A and B are shown apart, each in its own frame.
Chain A
Amino acid sequence: DADVTQTPRNRITKTGKRIMLECSQTKGHDRMYWYRQDPGLGLRLIYYSFDVKDINKGEISDGYSVSRQAQAKFSLSLESAIPNQTALYFCATSNLAAPSTGELFFGEGSRLTVL
């Protein structure tokens, strides 16, 4: 099931470098999300987008930016990466027309290491 695809899957970079994580989906969903997963902290919302012109900050948006290039694409950027941004990043989508707001479909994750 490759409905939600994240690239790269793994990335090692150095402090201060600019990094972009990309997400594309073939599910036709309107909503897209970026979460980061840290051991003991679960998943925390970074940014979310309800459509191409609607971008919203999540719980931990500082140090991150996003771009919704099209309905199917949602990119997460770290302008100047720092070590505490080392984490597993997940993209997710959901269907605006779904009866519930809580059914998200996740990508496989992008593991980022900042040295």
Chain B
Amino acid sequence: AQRVTQPEKLLSVFKGAPVELKCNYSYSGSPELFWYVQYSRQRLQLLLRHISRESIKGFTADLNKGETSFHLKKPFAQEEDSAMYYCALSGSARQLTFGSGTQLTVLP
């Protein structure tokens, strides 16, 4: 079975502060990990994926197989980063399993 855990339902930070959204996963094989984002009044959309090793909108995420984590980080949060963030895992069944989501609020 594959499982994704996001321990924080809500997270608030001030503008310019670093932000880290936590994601832990359970999967026996080699997973593909993703972060999805849903801005207010917009569709859920892919933010980044671990295989690309890219930085999108200043966000990065590193897959740590030892800790089974895929935390999302940004050194300086902006107000426009306020959104719901979902961590997701794709395993051998080729299904995408989502975590419960973290609502990030960046305060002015």
Contacts and interface: CB of A to CB of B under 8 A. Distances in A.
Bind each other: yes
Interface of A: 1, 33, 35, 40-45, 48, 58-59, 90, 100-104, 106-109
Interface stretch (B12-20, B42-50, B61-69): B42-50
Interface of B: 4, 6, 9, 32, 34, 36, 43-46, 49, 51, 86, 88, 90, 94-101
B100 A106 contact: no
Contacts, number: 51
B29 to A, nearest CB: 13
Nearest to A50: B94
B52 to A, nearest CB: 9
Contacts of A108: 43
Given A101-B90, A102-B34, A103-B49, A42 B96 contact: no
Contacts of A107: 43
A100 B98 contact: no
A102 B43 contact: no
Given A48-B95, A58-B95, A100-B32, A41 B90 contact: no
A90 B95 contact: no
- The interface residues of chain B, by DSSP majority, are classed as strand
A100 B51 CA distance: 9
Ranked nearest first, the 7 interchain pairs of A and B with the lowest CB-CB distance are: A42-B100, A102-B90, A43-B98, A106-B44, A42-B98, A102-B34, A101-B90
B49 to A, nearest CB: 6
Given A41-B100, A45-B97, A100 B49 contact: yes
